[in-house]
Amino acid sequence: MAALADHEPDIHKPWKILPTEKKIEPGVEVPIRIEDVRDKIIKDLQDNIRVEQQYEKERKEFEAEEAKNRQKQLEQTHAILSQNWTAYIKNMLKLEEEENWIRYMTCDGLPNPGLLSDMNTFLFLWSLEDELATMDTIEEKCRVIIHLLNKLDKIIRFSTLITKEYVTECETIAAQLRLKLQRWIDLACYHMLRNIETNMIRENTKTTRYVRTTNKAICCVWAPITLPIGMKRQVMERDRPSLFPGVPEKCIEIEFKEIKLRIKMPSDMDCHCMAIRGLWLAYDHYSIGSNSYWMSKLPEIVDLWNPTLGLFEYSIKEYDEKIRIGEEQAEGRRLRLEEKKAILEKLEYPSVPRIDKRKRARKPKKSSPKDHQTEFESMLTSILPSKLSELLPYLPTPNEIILEKEEKAMSESKKLLFTRCEKTEVNLRKYRILGGIFRVDILYQPPQPKDLGKDTYLTTLELPKEPKFMSFYKPYETPQSDPDSERTPEIIEAEMKALEEAMDALVLLTLKLPDSIFWFEPPVIAHWLPEKRIWSTKDIHDIKYNEEKQTIAFRTGRLGIHGLAGYKYANLPFQSWELKPEKKKSGCVHIGVILTITAAMVQAEFLIREDQVCLKSFTGITSTPLEKILGEYFELEYLIE
């Protein structure tokens, strides 16, 4: 149809008309006679109608033949893919049976992650063991729970023969395991703090410290020792004036070298009868609960066809849709063809204007080019409708309609897939928490045992027997100055002092970035808000990044869970990729393929053998964080993690 439109005459283009032909000099525009213009329009319309009739007939035959060939080719492809998919399903079922048998023969006392009844029983029995939570059991519990979570995650993401209800149950159990694991760590800290004198190591006469290091968690606790002081002395200490008025008291500053974290508390916090805990966890069990972690699901109304259809079924569905649209447009195309034929008939047989008898006797005047131009325009006006809107609009072809639907569906999909976040929320579709998470908490010290002599101790129990966390929240607001006042040096100095005092009221954290992560750019400091279930940059201020020392310092108005968010797509766009067979080596049974990816900053080379992948080489930046996995074969999912 586009080709036909190129031959359609432009009947609204202004023409220069002369009654007789004249000799035209070079470089002068050639005038056109009325008869020539009308003949050209008639010829173009005749060709247009003939080509359109022929095109409509040939289009149906061509599309039918094309659809037949496409379906024949896709049917063969569909058969091959179906065979491969069937073989894949059989292999997955076989591997699952082998894994279940190995787990059964292991007899490690762990439940089968695929059986919901076993997992629920495991959770119930675990809830009865809260009194057994100690720092010595953290490592084993972390190992067991993370193992079960990995198995559940594999079932949820990659199992093919499961229902949505089963997936929902698995996700619920996984969420309970994550909460229970964190509660177990908190209870272990509580039981350790119940006897500070015995369980913790004295730094000096006033403070104690405790450190527990495992593969998945590092727990550091600092606590001041509460000395027995008489009531009279307490009152005297409280009422005694400061020796240096106006001078702030010394702040509590702690360094946990095991997690490379330094904490500086505000000057108004003495942490009396409290303990400061620094906890590093190798896993992130919080991001999975955030809405921005998951890709938005599209409603069915946006899908052009059923998304579960294969390419073969999709092709059949698309062709049937073209046939349906063509049948609906048959009447409209007939009306447009009749309209063109009517215009052609008026051009071929124009109506003869009536001549006034009173003007017949007058002597005819000599016609001018302007008169012929006016006559030609009046002829076109009599043939064509007075308004272009009275002409039938352009009728798009079935292919154009389907393409427009696909573009509209794609546009709607992009809008729905866009992750909407709060102003300070960290979008987990764009960022990812790297290097684990770290927690800074203030716990109240439980009542300590009192030595009554003769190996007798008396301890006051406060119910419930669980840790009590101090709620720390100090919002920061920038001190506002009067815009109308004159900014003298004294006023500027006062503003700077007010700003420093507002900053000193916050907690200062200095953290060394983990060596196991490539930091292409400074990370985003995020705080986990449990009530909203989001990572947020709210209440994070005065961030200072030292690239040489790989440290980052910031002030926060909240204590709790913090993380370092890295930009996911720092290496995009990819520059190139190459896939080639591996060179055969002596003694090598299976030969794989080598995939080389050149990204914006690094180049990675992967070796793929059967269903496992290994990172063969890594260039462009120091590969120190990846030395442990270079040359090791993993399943693709575990290598990505």
Lowest mean pLDDT among 129-138, 352-361, 428-437, 601-610: 352-361
Amino acid identity, residue 504?
D
Whether the link from the prior residue into 393 is cis, omega within 30° of 0, is no
pLDDT at 279: 95
Structural tokens at position 397: 């072809």
Q: Is 76 part of a structural domain of the chain?
A: no
pLDDT at 7: 45
Total Cβ atoms within 10 A of residue 238: 7
Question: How many whole angstroms separate alpha carbon 579 and alpha carbon 594?
Answer: 6
Domain count, the chain: 2
Between these two residues, 586 and 347, which has the higher pLDDT value? 347
Task: Assess whether 549 and 430 both reside in one domain.
Answer: yes
Question: How many whole angstroms separate alpha carbon 95 and alpha carbon 64?
Answer: 45
Domain boundary (567, 589, 613) is at 567
Q: Is 365 part of a structural domain of the chain?
A: no
Q: Is 343 part of a structural domain of the chain?
A: no
> Which tens digits make up the pLDDT trace of 278-329?
999 999 999 999 989 988 776 655 555 455 566 777 778 888 888 888 888 8
pLDDT at 572 over 80: no
pLDDT at 79: 86
Task: Assess whether 526 and 588 both reside in one domain.
Answer: no
Q: If residue 58 lies in a helix (H) or strand (E), which one and from where to where?
A: helix 34-106
Domain boundary (549, 567, 585) is at 567
> Which tens digits make up the pLDDT trace of 84-116?
888 888 888 888 888 778 877 877 788 988 889
Task: Assess whether 288 and 435 both reside in one domain.
Answer: yes
Q: If residue 176 lies in a helix (H) or strand (E), which one and from where to where?
A: helix 164-193
pLDDT at 560: 93
Contacts with 215 (C-beta within 8 Å, 6 or more apart), sequence order: 139, 142, 143, 282
Task: Assess whether 522 and 608 both reside in one domain.
Answer: no
Amino acid identity, residue 419?
T
pLDDT at 554: 95
pLDDT at 571: 78
Task: Assess whether 436 and 548 both reside in one domain.
Answer: yes
Q: Is 157 part of a structural domain of the chain?
A: no
Question: How many whole angstroms separate alpha carbon 60 and alpha carbon 400?
Answer: 15
Task: Assess whether 596 and 613 both reside in one domain.
Answer: yes
Task: Assess whether 623 and 545 both reside in one domain.
Answer: no
Task: Assess whether 608 and 538 both reside in one domain.
Answer: no
Instruction: For residue 571, give Cα distances in angstroms to 368, 598, 602, 604.
Output: 74, 9, 7, 11
How are strands ordered across the β-sheet holding 261-264? 253-256, 261-264, 507-512, 551-556, 540-546
pLDDT at 61: 81
332-349 burial by CB neighbour count: b if 16+ within 10 A, else e? ebeebeeebeebbeebee
DSSP 249-302: PPPPEEEETTTTEEEE--TT---TTEEEEEEEESS--SGGGSGGGSPPPPPGGG
Say if strands 633-634 and 612-619 run parallel, antiparallel, or are unpaired: antiparallel
Q: Is 290 part of a structural domain of the chain?
A: yes
Task: Assess whether 549 and 602 both reside in one domain.
Answer: no
What does the DSSP 8-state code read for residue 390? Answer: G
Task: Assess whether 593 and 562 both reside in one domain.
Answer: no
Band (485; pLDDT cuts 50, 70, 90): low
Amino acid identity, residue 633?
Y
Q: Is 121 part of a structural domain of the chain?
A: no
Residue with tokens 């996700």: 171
Lowest mean pLDDT among 11-15, 155-159, 499-503: 11-15
Task: Assess whether 558 and 607 both reside in one domain.
Answer: no
Are the C-beta atoms of 565 and 434 separated by less than 8 Å? yes
Segments forming the whole domain that contains residue 281: 208-227+250-296+421-451+461-478+499-567
Q: Is 513 part of a structural domain of the chain?
A: yes
Question: How many whole angstroms separate alpha carbon 183 and alpha carbon 130?
Answer: 9
pLDDT at 355: 52
Q: Is 124 part of a structural domain of the chain?
A: no
Which of 504, 503, 505, 481 is closest to 492 using CA atoms?
Answer: 481
Band (11; pLDDT cuts 50, 70, 90): very low
Domain boundary (567, 594, 619) is at 567
252-256 contact pairs (CB < 8 A, 24+):
252/276, 254/222, 254/278, 256/211, 256/220, 256/222
Question: How many whole angstroms separate alpha carbon 617 and alpha carbon 464?
Answer: 54
Total Cβ atoms within 10 A of residue 426: 24
* CATH number of residue 446's parent domain: 2.60.220
Instruction: For residue 461, give Cα distances in angstroms to 184, 327, 464.
Output: 19, 84, 9
> Which tens digits make up the pLDDT trace of 500-534?
888 888 999 999 998 888 888 899 999 999 999 99
- Look over the chain and give the mean of its residue pLDDT values, rounded to a whole number: 80
Task: Assess whether 583 and 508 both reside in one domain.
Answer: no
For the chain, what percent of residues have pLDDT higher than 90? Answer: 30
